[in-house]
Amino acid sequence: MRTSLDGGRGQPAADLLASALGRSAHPFLMWEGMSSVPASLRGTSRPERQAEVRRAAEALDGVQVVHLIGCGTSYFSAIAATYALPKIAGVPAVAHDAFEFAAYPPAGLDRAALVAISHTGGTESVMAALSTARQRGAVTIALTDVPWSAVAEAAACTILGEGGREPALPKTRSYVVSLLKHYLLAAAMAARRGRTAEAYVQALEAAPETAQQVLNATAPGAQRLGAAMRQRSRIFVIGAGPNVATASEGALKLQEVAHIPAHAWELEEAMHGPWVSIDREDFVVLLALQGPSFSKAAGFATALAQIGAEVWVITDAPNSIVGPAHLTRLALAIPECLTPLYTVLPLYHFAYQTALARGIRPDAMRLDDDRYLAARAALPR
């Protein structure tokens, strides 16, 4: 993900860089971001935020399709939302990389909505896509954590998240908050469209407590696994359904934070050729959540054991899965489309601990190296 260093309005690049490079030992800023997830989820459910969600849901009355755009982490949150909006609100949804949407906009935007996702509210590709959507008659909604940002001012409605801008360059807390905003919006849309959504609403009300439980329960195991990654050369993260987004976000964090080649695959596609590139020296993270893909994921774990690759399965299923060397069970009893709120949390801990094991400062995305700082400045906007 190209992380903007201009800080949005009123915050110079030097301040952001100094913040990201300000710590040289645990706890880093990324640790604080992960730890703040429950409180940020609670804040994002406050009455003021719920009022923003209701206004956005009202603006979406009558739209035939919702397009969601973002870059990097925000794009992955858009992918997760495309599973929740149809399931909860009954509205088709499509995720796009913001640059691709702006360069190659879809047809029918006058009958559609655009949800523009930008943690900082100033991502240029997101702004370009938002401008295109407005010109073509789409209803525009902004999801951001920075009030008075460019995307907030340009969209018809804005849903803010709690906590403001994350000081660490790799984003964690903001991704989970973005997911909650999607789910709250889907539930509000369902209510306006006469659809039953009580089970989703109850699950979302418990989100802060559930996130805290997952963080507490999974951190020790993720720490042990991360500490063993010092000599690993490749990691594969595999998921299906809504957790394709989790796989992508988990792999991105391993790349940004630990600088390790990490590959995100969709489960079925992994089994159509790419799996043969996995060696016994590789580490595989397999997301096996209860739902249509569970039995296939369990079977894949068994198959990978034949290769000798070390496999970590993250699941909410009470029954055993044969084959993995490591198994993390999440105590969840929620619809599958909401599970990305929690499945990413052990992956964040894992990426953080992998960075520490490799002697890497997780906040900085290599910008403590002048070569990478120069390269970042040279990247096209």
Say what the pLDDT of residue 13 is.
63
Q: Is 34 in contact with 345 (CB distance < 8 Å)?
A: yes
Indicate if 208-357 has the same CATH topology as 13-204.
yes
CATH class for the region spanning 13-204: alpha beta
Instruction: Catalogue the long-range contacts made by 218-223 (C-beta closer than 8 Å, 24 or more residues apart).
Output: 218/328, 218/330, 218/345, 218/346, 218/349, 219/346, 219/349, 221/326, 221/328, 221/346, 222/328, 222/346, 222/347, 222/349, 222/350, 222/353, 223/349, 223/353
- What amino acid occupies position 271? M
DSSP string, 120-184: SS--HHHHHHHHHHHHTT-EEEEEESSTT-HHHHHSSEEEE-TT-S-SSSS-SHHHHHHHHHHHH
Place of tokens 């996702």: 117
> Residue 315: phi, psi to the nearest 5?
-145, 160
For 82-122, how does the pLDDT look when each residue is reduced to its tens digit (9 = 90+)? 999 999 999 999 999 999 999 999 999 999 999 999 999 99
Tokens of 62: 């009558």
Q: What is the chain's alpha carbon radius of gyration, rounded to the nearest angstrom? A: 20
Average model confidence (pLDDT) across the chain: 93
Q: Which of 87-101, 168-182, 315-329 is the least confident region?
A: 315-329
Average pLDDT on 358-374 reads: 92
The C-alpha angle with vertex 66 and arms to 63 and 70, in degrees rounded to 5, equals: 150
In 10 A of CB 273, how many CB atoms? 8
Q: Is 245 in contact with 80 (CB distance < 8 Å)?
A: yes
Say what the pLDDT of residue 3 is.
40
Task: Place domain 208-357 in its CATH homologous superfamily.
Answer: Glucose-6-phosphate isomerase like protein; domain 1 (3.40.50.10490)
Instruction: Write down the domain spans for the chain.
Output: 13-204, 208-357
CA 66 to each of CA 69, 89, 233, 290: distance values in angstroms, whole numbers, following the listed order: 10, 11, 39, 26
Say what the pLDDT of residue 17 is.
80
Find which of 175-179, 228-232, 323-327 is predicted with most confidence, using mean pLDDT. 175-179
